[in-house]
Amino acid sequence: MVVKKIIFVLFSLMMVSTIFAQDSLGKYFVHFQQTAIYQYHPAFSAKYSGDNSLISSEEGAMSITSTLFLDVPLSKKTHFTFNPELSGGKGLSAAKGMGGFTNGETFRIGNPEPVVYVARLFVSHQFDLEKDESLQVVVGKFGLADYFDFNTYAHDPRTHFMNWSLMSSGAWDYAANTRGYTSGIYIGYFQPKFSLKFAFAAVPTTPNGPVLDYRYDKANGMNFEFTKPFTLSNNWKGTFRTLLYRNQAPMGNYALANSQSGVPNLGPTRQEYRTKSGFALNGEIGYKDEWGLFGRYSWNDGENETWAFTEIDESISFGVHFAGQKWNRKNDYMAFALVRNGLSKPHQEFQQKGGMGFMIGDGNLNYGGEQILEGFYQYQIHPNVYLTPDYQFVINPGYNKDRGPVHVFSIRVHSEF
């Protein structure tokens, strides 16, 4: 029944996309994408399991998303964007049990039935300043990852790496609801030598909750990013980005929870105006269009609870990307990356005493950094369709030396029109 509903809605969205594209006559732009991911892991060793553990027995799960992008010019420099999205299926273990979860297309949604919702709804305007300078302003509902922490080789789980700590900087607890979207304002200043970006956005009312908190004076997320492109030679070009962020929300405090008798509980420690601050460094360099290297390092203070993205307080990753023209497959590519994620000391103690976050919780913790290897090959099987086998090897899932290692095998089918 679930599969039939997904197929019906996908077919309807594709028909709508085709009709709009044919009738637009250049007045507006319509784009459609569909991504299906199946993941499987065999049974692995685990001395114990908790409510938020990755299930140690053999497990498989499938997710599917379909997105319709409609962009309508209101004037030469002003655009209205509407983006309905369908999401169905689920992640392994209901997308719990790891800081760097394995499928960036899944959310912690209990019901796997397909649901249609509004992902983006905003108005944007571009101001032309001096020569080669511009200012972009966006107001409405969008994703912070649409504008921040971009990386050519590791950013979009629909076409790049699938792991959460590779699609974004792991310790960037970016303001968003459960599905990854927020409401607010974004401002970007661009010129050839550098760019500056700022966003003020809503955070959820509860940790990783579906409802956004519009009490902006009490709860909000602020993000600032500096981007600097550089050229080493005609063949070597790259970009370096620095991201700073600060979230304010009624967060719980790990140290206060740890001082409780028995199993620590963040609920009674929650208090208005608490903050979480951090930064992310993000770099990439490419040789012609043939291959490239990338890396990220991110950190947050880890004193108060994770509020939006995932339970990672420190993360470092690096990888390599190869384009397919070297083997006469110009639209194919493959890539490999390594990640190490970590928790702050108070966060470690909270987990060791049996505390539960919204992402991890084994009931105990023999702490070790979560280490992930991911590799994939994206193969173009049609001008608009791509097939991607993917493999992830995870040591210390959920930061626990008493569990794993885990082998995760994935297959992704992505189409775009």
Secondary structure (DSSP) of 19-85: HHHHH-TTSSEEEEEEEEEEEEE----BS---TTSPP-S-EEEEEEEEEEEEEEESSSSEEEEEEEE
pLDDT recorded at residue 6: 45
d(CA 365, CA 77): 54
pLDDT recorded at residue 112: 73
d(CA 400, CA 409): 21
**Quick check: 144 and 196 in contact, CB under 8 A?**
no
Nearest to 298 by CA among 168, 412, 193: 168
417 residues of the chain, pLDDT tens digit each: 444 544 444 444 454 445 444 444 457 889 999 999 999 999 999 999 999 999 999 999 999 999 999 999 999 999 999 999 999 999 999 999 999 999 999 987 656 788 999 999 999 999 999 889 999 999 999 999 999 999 999 999 999 999 999 999 999 999 999 999 999 999 999 999 999 999 999 999 999 999 999 999 999 999 999 999 999 999 999 999 999 999 999 999 999 999 999 999 999 999 999 999 999 999 999 999 899 999 999 999 999 999 999 999 999 999 999 999 989 999 999 999 999 999 999 999 999 999 999 999 999 999 999 999 999 999 999 999 999 999 999 999 999 999 999 999 999 999 998
What is the second-level CATH architecture of the domain 2-416? Answer: Beta Barrel (2.40)
d(CA 227, CA 142): 20
pLDDT recorded at residue 113: 83
